[in-house]
Structures are given as structure tokens and as C-alpha cells.
Amino acid sequence: MNVIEIVNLTTSYGKRRGIENVSFNIKQGEIFGFIGPNGAGKSTTIRTLLGFLFPNNGMAKVFGLDCVSESKVIKRDIGYLPSEVNYYNDMKVKDLFAYSAKFYKKDCLLRITELCDTFQLDVNRKINDLSLGNKKKTAIVQALLHEPKLLIFDEPTSGLDPLMQNILFDVLRKENKKGTTIFFSSHILSEVQQLCHRVAIIKDGNILNVGSIDELAASKCVKVKIGLKNPNQAEKITLTSATDYKTKDGYFQFMYSGNANELIAMLSRFDIQNLFIEDLSLEEVFMHYYEKEGE
């Protein structure tokens, strides 16, 4: 079952670009990464899902319900962490949690206590007195306190120290094991690779690719690194399915997405000292997509 279903979604607002024809699904129980640089359209997609923005075209559904007409119902089971945390500065943390919990008509006190212990959060402090990291922790607890079925986290680790990032990832994995679906938007590839099952790459408001982390890392492309006895021969290596030729650290290297026999036939003509054929890291896949689309 798809928890999130987005089909040809286009949202634009003002002078900002927004998103164009975005399509992807997130299955129940998945941790889905959404990666792209700042301004790529990640927050616009999320804001459309939450009903802050209205789509110009296409369709977005959460729990099978339309994001515009059924927004109120959908939000009962969503925990949202915005990229930029803004709360009522004159409120104490505990008052914010109490205010937030009342919207769900649930007794969340025990859950709040547990989460505050986990994230080492002092609930008696005023929001205005909190550091950026503590504000982020407040926002995380606020998003989790009603035990939602879907978590939408937009750049959740910004402002958190590495120790707290690990605690957050542990909490998210625990929630995921209980069946919670997680939509994890970030521009930090390593954390997406560490946590997510599948990932969508977005650039300039368009989805470039959607796939599992392993698929994407292994997809279509491998990185070929060759240590040639005579480095001057490098320019003679030309393959139709190779891109990004360069020499780095004494190795001639390129991305290859073609037939293995063709690669072996070409390389056999040269005197090779070392040969490495590697799967791409997610970061390299990401950069590969970006460079390819940018051309």
C-alpha cells in the first residue's frame, strides 16, 4: 500500500520555480529519502503534501486521501518536522507540547516524557532561550509525540550535533520497525544512504531518478579506475557508454554504463598495471546525475 502517492505534481508560487511533473510513491513502512540541493523543490513538495501550497496540476495523495480536500484528516497521522523551526517564543517547551498534543485529542504525556529523556530536553525552558540544536530537538519531539503513522522530516539533522544525529537515527529506525513510514528530505547524502530504503533525487523542481539505495548506487553505472603503464595512452581509451573521463591520483578513470565485453575488449589493448571497477557511492551517483542533467 502506498502511503504517499504523487502523480505529475506541479506547484509553482510567485517568482519561485516550485516543482514540475513530480511523480513518486512511498510504500507503507518505508524510509524514503528525498535528496537534492537547497532550492531543488524538496520543501515545495512537502508543503504541497501538507496543504500549505496548492498544486497547479497533478495529484498528491496521503493514506489514499487527496492532499487538498482531505488535508485535515490526513494530518491526524502525520508528524511534521520543518527545515526551519519556528515556535511561539514566549511559550515554555512543555506548554508547546501540551498545545500540540491537544490537537490530536490524545494523552501524550508518557510519550513526551520518554522522548524528552531520549533527546535530553529540558521542558521548563522558554522557546526563546533555546539554542538552535535544542529548538530542533523540541521540533523532533513535537513531531513524534502523537505517534503518527507517517513522519515527514525536512532537513532534520541541521543544527544537531553528531551524537544527537545518531540518537535521532536510532529513534527513527525504532519508529520504522513499529510500522511508521518516514519521508526523509535532506541534502546530506551520507545520512540518506545510512537510513533510507529508497530515494528520489530532485533537481530544479524535477525528479531525476527514484530507486533503492542499492539500485541507485549500482545502477547502470560503474566507476572504472585504470593504472596504465604508459599514462599517455589514456586518450586512446574511448567507449561509447563512458562519461566523465579524468585523471586523478595517477589513475585514469571514467563512469561506464555499457556492455562489459566491450569494456574488456577495449582495455585488453593496453598495458594495464591496476584495474578497479567499483559501484558508485550515492554521492557519486548524485553528482553524476547532477552533472549529466546540467550539461
Residue 101 and residue 75: Cα distance in Å, rounded? 13
Choice between 139 and 255, CB closer to other proteins? 139
Residue 29 and residue 211: Cα distance in Å, rounded? 16
Choice between 26 and 151, CB closer to other proteins? 151
Q: How far is the CB of 113 from other proteins (least distance, A)?
A: 21
Of 148, 71, 69, 72, residue with least CA distance to 106: 148
Is residue 77 within a helix (H) or strand (E), and if so which, with residue range? none
Q: Contact positions toward other proteins, by CB under 8 A?
A: 13-14, 47, 50-54, 71-76, 78, 80, 82, 84, 86-90, 99-100, 102-104, 142
C-alpha cell at 3: 502511503
Q: How far is the CB of 73 from other proteins (least distance, A)?
A: 7
Choice between 53 and 228, CB closer to other proteins? 53
C-alpha cell at 104: 490530536
Q: How far is the CB of 24 from other proteins (least distance, A)?
A: 21
- In this structure, the number of other CB atoms found within 10 A of the CB of residue 161 comes to 10
Q: How far is the CB of 67 from other proteins (least distance, A)?
A: 12
Strands of the sheet containing 16-27, edge to edge, are: 16-27, 2-13, 57-62, 65-66
Task: Report the interhelical angle of 132-144 vs 93-102 (nearest 10°).
Answer: 20
Choice between 9 and 217, CB closer to other proteins? 9
Choice between 99 and 276, CB closer to other proteins? 99
